[in-house]
Amino acid sequence: MEQVILVDEENNQIGVADKETVHTINTPLHRAFSLFLFNSKKQLLVTQRALDKKTFPGVWTNSVCGHVSPGEETVDTVKRRMSDELNIDATNIKEVAPYRYRLADNNGIVENEICPIYIGFTDEDPKPSKSEVEAWKWIDWNEFLKTIKDHPGTYSPWSEEEAVILSRCHPELVSGSNE
């Protein structure tokens, strides 16, 4: 069974728990990550979460999200989850901004995570795992930003907040270049 790392507000590990038991209406704070994958056409890979996911089923979101496993570096988790969920590789994967959120889905299940934002670059089309991803598409980065501004709630709340952080704090990082 997959485990998550429980943390305090300063991101110090205070325990571990089975992933299936932590997502409730009282979800404890735990470590995660969020990845935005760009291609050479300055497009963002967005994915629709599988319809049977426990939290936010069927919701469109950024490329990959996941939980850090005990004893694993976050960047290694990012690469592992990218391979497991999308069956692709990327280059220049790096953390670009901190992020912390607590949100409830329509069923009252809470996400409560310290979730740094990562970016990476690939021109591969995904071959997603159906247990993780229902659908996917490439979308122009500027179109994505316009959509979340004009139609909030089109994508997951965390991906919309993280995209604003990326566009404001690190516009050079999402230029589509893998230099």
Strands (E), the chain: 3-7, 13-18, 30-38, 43-49, 60-61, 64-67, 91-97, 100-104, 110-114, 117-121, 133-140
Are 69 and 1 in contact by the 8 Å Cβ rule? The answer is no
Please pick, among 65, 111, 160, 162, the residue that the annotation labels catalytic.
65
CB count within 10 Å of CB 110 equals: 18
Q: Which of 111, 113, 160, 162 is catalytic?
A: 113
* Phi, psi (degrees; rounded to nearest 5) at 125: -85, 140
**Known catalytic residue: 169?**
no
Residue 113 annotated to the active site: yes
Torsion of CA 147, 151, 152, 155, to 10 degrees: -50
Residues known to be catalytic: 65, 113
